């Protein structure tokens, strides 16, 4: 006791030792946190704010004499830009179709493999392969090896099956379909792995009870499996949606947004505006628009996840 008193006296006499320790600890924690916090601010928040700031400017490398603050002009122009709306449409079609396909196919595969007695491990290893490839590599492989008319594997199969040769990436109506297939091919294994793991963790006793009640397999699936898997499915949907909305590399390498603008997603349009046409200001506005859409859609999905 005397020890504590003698220690306290020099600091002011009436300080509470516990509170003082707490304050010191908080300062220490703040000091420990600071580097990471500053690094995070510098690498994420600051560029984001800078992007927003740039989007309020006219910044055109081709016409540097026109540069300057323009307020919301870029956004006004964006709302009247048909190519923006078409790119947004392509982005939405691309996102929803790939996510739905991934979940449906991934779930089907997971159910199939979950019932397998042997070879599950092998199947899982094979399935993971596309996921670990870089999207740019996947794009190159599909573009040259699989989809080239008259020379590619897919076209050969199509010709052999009597469906004829098609310009899979050159025909505007087929190109979007092709890039959706490529993305689905690469990322379905992700959905498959997550859902397979969740399936394996489902409690067996509920199914046993259902069997005693003579529930049909379909009923079991709809009333037991799906509700139990719901959190996993929603999680897969959220993660895949965010990635699909910001997809870039595969489409860039496969079609570059073409033919024409048939596969030009919003991301690619912002890239072309900024780095090919060198209209950095307008390109930033497009990027901000994409950010807003991603946030809104993710917000909706999270809200759906909570609602029950």
Partner 1 sequence: MTSVKPTRRHVLQAGLAAVAFPALIRSAGAQDADLSAYKAAKIDWRQASGEQITVAVIPASYFDALIALAPQFEALTGISVRFEKIPPAQIRQKAVIDLTSKAGGYSTHAADPMYYALYAANKWVESLDPYLKDATLTDPAWFQPDDIIPAWRNANTIDGKLYGVPYDGEVTVQVYRKDLYDAKGLKAADTLEDYVANAAALNDPGNRLWGAALRGVAGAGQNVYIYSSLFKEFGGDWFPGGKFRVNGPEAEAALNWYVDVMRKYAPTAAQNWNWPDIADAFSQGTIASYIDANTSASVITNPEKSKVVGKIGFARWPKGPTGKRVSSIWNWGFPINASLPEKRKKATWLFIQWAASLQTQALTSYQFSGPAKRSGVNRLSLWKNPDFVKLMNSFGDNFVATTLDALEQDTDVNWRPRVPQWPAIGDTLATAIQQALVGQATTKAALDEAQRRLEPMMRG
- In whole angstroms, the minimum distance from the beta carbon of 170 to partner 1 comes to 4
- Cβ proximity to partner 1: between 244 and 254 the closer is 254
Element (H, E) at 60: none
28 token code pair: 């220490």
Q: Which of residues 257-296 bind partner 1 (CB under 8 A)?
A: 258-262, 272, 275-279
What SS3 state is found at 264? coil
User: Could you give the CA distance from residue 102 to residue 240 in angstroms, rounded to a whole number?
Assistant: 9
Please identify, using beta-carbon distances, which residue of 102 and 148 lies nearer to partner 1: 148
Stretch that binds partner 1, among 22-30, 48-56, 108-116, 256-264 (CB under 8 A): 256-264
Quick one: which segment of 38-46, 122-130, 167-175, 237-245 binds partner 1 (CB under 8 A)? 167-175
Contacts (CB under 8 A) with partner 1, residues 116-155: 148-151
Minimum distance from residue 292 beta carbon to partner 1 (Å)? 24
- Restricting to residues 34-73, name those near partner 1 by CB under 8 A: 61-66
- Of 160 and 173, which has the nearer Cβ to partner 1? 173
Which residue number, 8 or 73, has a Cβ lying nearer to partner 1?
A: 73
Among candidate residues 259, 268, 94, the one with its CA nearest the CA of residue 170: 259
Residue 275 CB, shortest distance to partner 1, in Å, is: 5
Measured from the Cβ of residue 15, the count of other Cβ atoms closer than 10 Å reads 12
Least CB distance to partner 1 at residue 45 (A): 22
Total binding residues toward partner 1, as defined by CB under 8 A? 29
Of 70, 101, 107, 169, the one binding partner 1 (CB under 8 A) is 169
Assign 3-class secondary structure to 67-128: CEECCCHHHHHHHCCHHHHHHHHHHHHHHHHHHHHHHHHHHHHHHHHHCCCCCHHHHHHHHH
Query: How near is the Cβ of 89 to partner 1 at its closest, in Å?
Result: 15
Q: What single-letter DSSP state applies at residue 65? A: G
What residues are paired with 68 via a beta bridge? 58
Among residues 43, 44, 165, 216, the one that binds partner 1 under rule CB under 8 A: 165
Q: Cα angle at 73 between 69 and 75, to 5 degrees?
A: 120
Rounded to a whole number, what is the distance in angstroms from the first to the last CA of the chain? Answer: 57
The enclosing H or E element of 257 equals none
The residues that touch partner 1, with contacts defined as CB under 8 A, are 61-66, 83, 148-151, 165, 167, 169-172, 256, 258-262, 272, 275-279
């Amino acid at each position: 006791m005397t020890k504590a008193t003698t220690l306290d006296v020099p600091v002011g006499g009436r300080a509470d030792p516990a509170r003082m320790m707490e304050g010191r600890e908080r300062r220490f924690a703040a000091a420990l946190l600071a580097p990471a916090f500053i690094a995070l601010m510098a690498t994420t928040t600051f560029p984001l704010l800078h992007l927003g700031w740039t989007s309020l400017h006219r910044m055109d490398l081709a016409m540097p004499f026109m540069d300057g603050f323009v307020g919301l002009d870029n956004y006004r122009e964006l709302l009247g830009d048909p190519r923006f709306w078409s790119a947004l449409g392509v982005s939405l079609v691309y996102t929803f179709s790939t996510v739905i396909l991934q979940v449906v196919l991934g779930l089907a595969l997971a159910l199939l493999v979950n019932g397998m007695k042997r070879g599950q491990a092998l199947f899982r290893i094979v399935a993971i392969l596309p996921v670990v490839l870089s999207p740019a590599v996947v794009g190159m492989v599909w573009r040259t090896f699989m989809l080239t008319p008259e020379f590619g594997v897919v076209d050969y199969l199509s010709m052999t099956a009597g469906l004829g040769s098609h310009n899979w990436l050159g025909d505007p109506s087929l190109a979007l379909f092709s890039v959706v297939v490529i993305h689905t091919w690469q990322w379905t294994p992700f959905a498959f792995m997550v859902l397979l793991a969740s399936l394996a963790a489902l409690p067996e006793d509920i199914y046993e009870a259902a069997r005693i009640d003579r529930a049909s397999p379909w009923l079991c699936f709809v009333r037991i499996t799906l509700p139990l898997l719901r959190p996993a499915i929603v999680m897969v949907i959220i993660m895949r949606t965010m990635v699909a909305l910001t997809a870039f590399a595969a489409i860039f390498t496969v079609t570059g947004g073409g033919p024409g603008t048939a596969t030009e997603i919003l991301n690619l349009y912002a890239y072309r505006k900024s780095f090919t046409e060198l209209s950095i200001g307008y390109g930033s506005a497009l990027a901000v628009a994409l950010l807003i859409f991603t946030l809104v859609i993710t917000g909706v999905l999270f809200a759906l996840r909570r609602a029950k």
